Amino acid sequence: MSQPVVIVTGASKGIGLEVVKILLNKYSAKVVAVSRSVPQPLKDLADSSKGAVELVTGDVAETSTSERASATALEKFGKIDGLILNAGTLDPLGPVVKTNIADWQTAFNVNFFSLVTMLQSTAEALRQSKGKVVFVSSGAATGDTQGWAAYNSTKAAMNSLCRTFAKEEPDIASFAVRPGVVDMQAQLRLKGQSNMNADEFKRFDTLHKEGKLLPPDSPGYVIASLAVRGPTTLSGQFLNWNADELADFQKPSV
């Protein structure tokens, strides 16, 4: 197998950063890492990759970022085999009637419309490679956590986009993956208590305090593997990272 070329958004930390590491170490991939900033761990990874990682810095909500990511992959590596749509925001937190519509629009620009622009920018190359697209979704896509209305809505829209894109583009395998409870995210810890139902906030806060959050490389391994060798038989589906159907994509037990 030739070295796969994969674009990863939200690559600066958490699942995104782990996915980049797995793509490099497990699949010897070439990676275009897209992020708003380049913290030291991502910079070090790129510097040590011997040219296997190209950094694209920018806001995914801007169409130009998608265009630059696609152009970078094609200019530097000659193709695009996979696309991992991981960038996202939890804001705005709060009840529907108390949140600002401009903040909702920002959430949809980041969590949804950026997906559309990235698909539009890469679709032709993905058709040629019979590539893969992994939408990093959430249980929020089918959930009703109070105070998360914007986030819930954007992830539901993401899943719908995945289903439709899979049907429109049968040569591109597309998957929406629920990664489980991995990262509490700073805005949730800072703002959640005052903007969420008390019991729901306590459930998330307890997982964080008791160290029961998933390590990001567990779902990250599945996400990276699907971006390289995901089957068309699962295209369009919304799948839990540890679903039986994904057993062959799980991180090997030590």
Q: End-to-end distance of the chain based on CA atoms, in angstroms?
A: 25
Question: pLDDT, tens digit, for every residue of 34-61?
Answer: 999 999 999 999 999 999 999 999 999 9
Angle at which helix 149-168 crosses helix 114-129, to 10 degrees, equals 30
What is the spatial distance between Cα 162 and Cα 133, in angstroms, rounded to a whole number?
9
Q: How confident is the model at residue 246 (pLDDT cuts 50, 70, 90)?
A: very high
Of the two residues 210 and 63, the one the predictor is more confident about is 63
pLDDT of residue 209: 55
Asked if the model's pLDDT at residue 218 lies above 70, the reply is yes
Nearest to 80, CA basis, from 68, 71, 89, 93? 71
- For 5-235, CATH gives 3.40.50.720
Q: Which pLDDT does position 96 carry in this prediction?
A: 96
Model pLDDT for residues 231-243, shown as the tens digit of each residue: 999 999 999 999 9
pTM equals 0.90
Position 132 scores a pLDDT of 98
Contact 32, 54 (CB under 8 A): yes
CA distances from 52 to 20, 45, 48, 49, 235 (A): 10, 10, 9, 5, 28
195: confidence class by pLDDT, cuts 50, 70, 90: low
Domain ranges of the chain: 5-235
pLDDT of the residue at 30? 98
Query: Catalytic site residues?
Result: 137, 151, 155
Chain-centre distance of CA 198, in angstroms?
28
